[in-house]
Structure 1
Amino acid sequence: MDCRGGCGACCIVISISSPIPGMPGGKPAGVPCVHLTTEYKCGLFGKPERPAVCRNLQPSEDMCGSSNEEAFELLEALEKATKLPTLDPR
């Protein structure tokens, strides 16, 4: 499956814990990557500085669904399901 044009869900919805050029602390969920272009494409695609986590993420129907809206819903559910619980500081 190829990436759907104009989507960018994986560059917005999911969190990335590893450093990204311009985002040394990683990328929080729901925050667009600083390299997401106005065409919703990765500005680092094909470049050596693109993080391995991004290079290894491959579009699939399970992740992308059949529309941009479905991709956001699927990835939001995946992000929630894989999020580690936070400790109560009390």
Structure 2
Amino acid sequence: MICRLNCGACCIAPSISSAIPGMPDGKAAGERCIQLDESNLCLLFGKAERPKVCADFGAEEWVCGTTREEALLILTDLENNTH
């Protein structure tokens, strides 16, 4: 699956415990990553400073659903049920 343009759900819904440029303590679940631009694209995509957890994430329908809203619900549910 190719990432859905203007989605960014994976950069908002889950918590990230590793450092992100501009967010040295990572980010909380539901918090928008500082590296997400106005079009919901990662400013670090393809760069060495992108956190490994982000680089390892791959868009798949079971995680991303069929809409941005569905992706946010699925990822939020996964976050809530894995802590």
The answer to whether TM tops 0.5 is yes
Partners of 2:8 and 2:29 lie apart in 1 by 13
C-alpha RMSD over aligned residues: 0.6
Deviation at 1:24, TM superposition (A): 0.7
Partners of 1:82 and 1:21 lie apart in 2 by 25
Aligned length: 83
Paired letter, 1:59:
A
Deviation at 1:19, TM superposition (A): 0.8
Higher RCO, Cα 8 Å, sep 6+? 2
| Uncovered stretches (5+) of structure 1, i.e. residues with no partner | 84-90
Within 5 A, what are the aligned runs for 1:39-78?
39-78=39-78
Paired letter, 2:27:
K
Is residue 2:8 matched to residue 1:8?
Answer: yes
Partners of 2:70 and 2:78 lie apart in 1 by 12
Paired letter, 2:54:
C
| Uncovered stretches (5+) of structure 2, i.e. residues with no partner | none
Deviation at 1:62, TM superposition (A): 1.1
TM-score (norm 2): 0.97
Deviations 1:32-61 (A, max 9, x none): 000000000000001110010000000001
The structure with the larger Rg is 1
